[in-house]
Structure 1
């Protein structure tokens, strides 16, 4: 594969990763919109959430995700939002935001009846800059002079993501953006890889950067752990967030850390050991709560299955006995624990 084709493929995969974060559960998506745009939507007043990706402008700028549009149909009316994820900044960024907003306003143009002026309503916009750049302020803006000579300022709010810690995201309830914490290492890794240092010095600097990356993963997982424990982060959302985290880490290791196999395994193990006991423990707790009335929910069963598959070998018999006590079918226990049906039956006789 040519270098340009590989970069396009990687960029497309990152686009897809970012879009996942805006398609989590309804509750987390509403929280994300509230946090990004300082709204106060309650879940019960939002009738539906619609997604639209504009394709009316083509360019070659270094964007990660461009033109993510959301529409909220609420009891208070219809609201439109535009979110742009960005790595690099340039003078034309705010101009492009204006063009994106204008094209969407044209698409949504309201009213052209007799005696009624058309209304071009821009969506609310925000640009999220992922990589550190002190030249980026709190907003992007330019001055617009109208035909009658009057002037107005067009401004788009900016979120300087690199200044936010996992705790900041927890406080702002921007849970969906937690996995992007590890993306902040890309700029330094890219700079080191492109430097004129010797290969040995590059390895030393990259090793140091990956150690910092491990610390970032630990702090991010600590926050996710609290959110799950407090039931503020559903298991399904947690699973998708951890998948995004793993995908970004894979991207970083593939591009800048092929030699750090052991470190990659350490980070992978860190995530797996976080998932395994939490899935089993949570599955058991939820099974006790709802198993009698509704049976174990599919998500909990999957959590138990995945937890066992990923490396929990000890305690299978205990888990199986607990599930038997809850009246779970033998077939489900076999799938969850890896034990044979005969082994499960023997455990049942012991009870």
Structure 2
């Protein structure tokens, strides 16, 4: 019973993190900067595109990544959320990265492919989490000798990333709760006015929570999970769901 409960809680954590990435584009920049050691200017507006995550392998079977995004119309970033260790995770990452890369081979005489930057986020401590994610790729021997590369994927376990990740999740949650007054809050932040920030939070919180709950319903999250995240009563969420269904019909 306890194992089933823990499994459910882990799945909910997984779903929540994916949702937070999806509804809070400005804060995605902070997370990409951290996990990929990038230097995107957090004060600059970037085109953040959440890309289709399904692609077919050589056997024409659909494979799906957890999160694939493009920033500024150029660089791609691929995240996988793992609840525990998986022996061949690096093979899966290489496979997905390759299939994404060959979608665009460039226009030069020699086809060129670019792998997305990749990271695996382990959401809890547990058995089987590797010390490193590396894959050695050895090409056939030619007149130039043997060619080999070591393919490395960044990974972050709870023990390494929990402090930073919890901070970002906290910021994301605050952001989506108050997005009804996001512009006012952003103005307050730019001008350094703590009064403006507090006022934005106060005025936008109620509206922002309802907007967040509506987004969660549209993405198929269950009412119990939405209630846990937003602290809204289940009855109110059910009414919101009925309203959305009636609007769609």
**Taking structure 1 as the reference length, what is the TM-score of the superposition?**
0.43
The DSSP-based 3-state class of the residue aligned with 1:22 is: helix
TM-superposed CA distance for 1:21, in Å, is: 1.9
1:111-260 aligned within 5 A? 111=107, 113=108, 116-133=109-126, 135-148=128-141, 149-166=146-163, 169=164, 175-177=167-169, 233=171, 236-237=174-175, 239=177
- Separation in 2, partners of 1:158, 1:83: 10
* Structure 2: gaps spanning 5 or more residues: 1-7, 58-63, 179-192, 210-249
The DSSP-based 3-state class of the residue aligned with 2:33 is: helix
The DSSP-based 3-state class of the residue aligned with 2:69 is: strand
Structure with the higher strand share, 1 or 2: 2
TM-superposed CA distance for 1:145, in Å, is: 1.1
- Separation in 1, partners of 2:105, 2:153: 21
Q: 1:50 to 1:138 in 2, by over 3 A?
A: farther
Superposed CA RMSD: 4.1
Conserved 8 A contact 2:83-2:122: yes
Structure with the higher helix share, 1 or 2: 1
* Structure 1: gaps spanning 5 or more residues: 1-8, 59-64, 179-232, 241-285, 291-295, 308-351
Equivalent in the alignment of 2:51: 52
- 1:104-152 Cα shifts (integer Å, max 9, x gaps): 10123322x5xx1111100110111122136534531121111234221
The DSSP-based 3-state class of the residue aligned with 1:56 is: strand
Q: 1:106 to 1:289 in 2, by over 3 A?
A: closer
1:97 to 81, 93, 106: 93
